[in-house]
Amino acid sequence: MAPPKQSQNPSYEADIQLAISATTRNQLQSNRDAARTFEVARMTLTRRRAGIPARRDCQPNSRKLTQREEEVIISYILHLDQRGFAPTYAAARDMADKLLAARGAGQVGQKWPANFVKRTDSLRTCFNRAYDRQRAMCEDATLIKRWFKLVEEIKAEQGICDEDVYQTPQQSIGSA
């Protein structure tokens, strides 16, 4: 069985558009003639003339938000990030739920934020760790500088090179 024409010819959609224009300008009398002339599927041509778009051009039923609503969420998340706030999955889910509630369309699912971040190139996740206040209060710049100075003295005293500090051979780092 031969593979479908769509996978063989990248200009298949252009052939469909030519067939549609030929039938609307009455150059060809029927969809069957146009399909045969332009070598496209007759039912595909009939559906397109009826206004049914190609499947790849349609939004999947599983996506509740429109493209514009997703763009708004992306820009809001990036705006929060620029201001120094770290939006969480829960915050992204709340934003989406508010947009859906405005048009009465229910709520997004539990895993929607993770899937949204995966399919959006401009977003990525990172883990934030709480900074212990007690530890922050104990930090003293002079103590830290003194410790690094002690490390430098020990390195000089023992003859340790900078490359050998972490005891990793140079060849193991990077790509092969």
**C-alpha to C-alpha distances, 40 to 23, 58, 59, 116, nearest whole angstrom:** 13, 20, 24, 36
pLDDT at 128 over 50: yes
Of residues 30, 41, 37, the one with CA closest to residue 6? 41
Average pLDDT over residues 127-131: 72
pTM: 0.50
If one counts the domains in the chain, the total is 2
74 and 34 inside one domain: no
71 and 51 inside one domain: no
Average pLDDT over residues 143-172: 78
pLDDT at 173 over 50: no
Report yes or no on 71 lying in a domain: yes
Of residues 56, 51, 44, 45, the one with CA closest to residue 20? 45
Report yes or no on 91 lying in a domain: yes
112 and 45 inside one domain: no
Task: Select the highest-mean-pLDDT range: 73-87, 132-146, 158-172.
Answer: 73-87
Task: Select the highest-mean-pLDDT range: 7-11, 62-66, 116-120.
Answer: 116-120
Of residues 66, 31, 68, the one with CA closest to residue 50? 31
Please give the full DSSP string across 53-103, using - where no structure is assigned: PPGGGSPPTT--S-HHHHHHHHHHHHHHHHTT----HHHHHHHHHHHHHHT
Report yes or no on 160 lying in a domain: no
For residue 98, give its domain range: 67-147
Average pLDDT value for the chain: 82
78 and 143 inside one domain: yes
Is residue 49 helix, strand or coil? helix
- Written as one letter, the residue type at 80 is L
For the stretch 53-87, pLDDT in tens is 888 777 777 788 988 999 999 999 998 888 878 78
137 and 78 inside one domain: yes
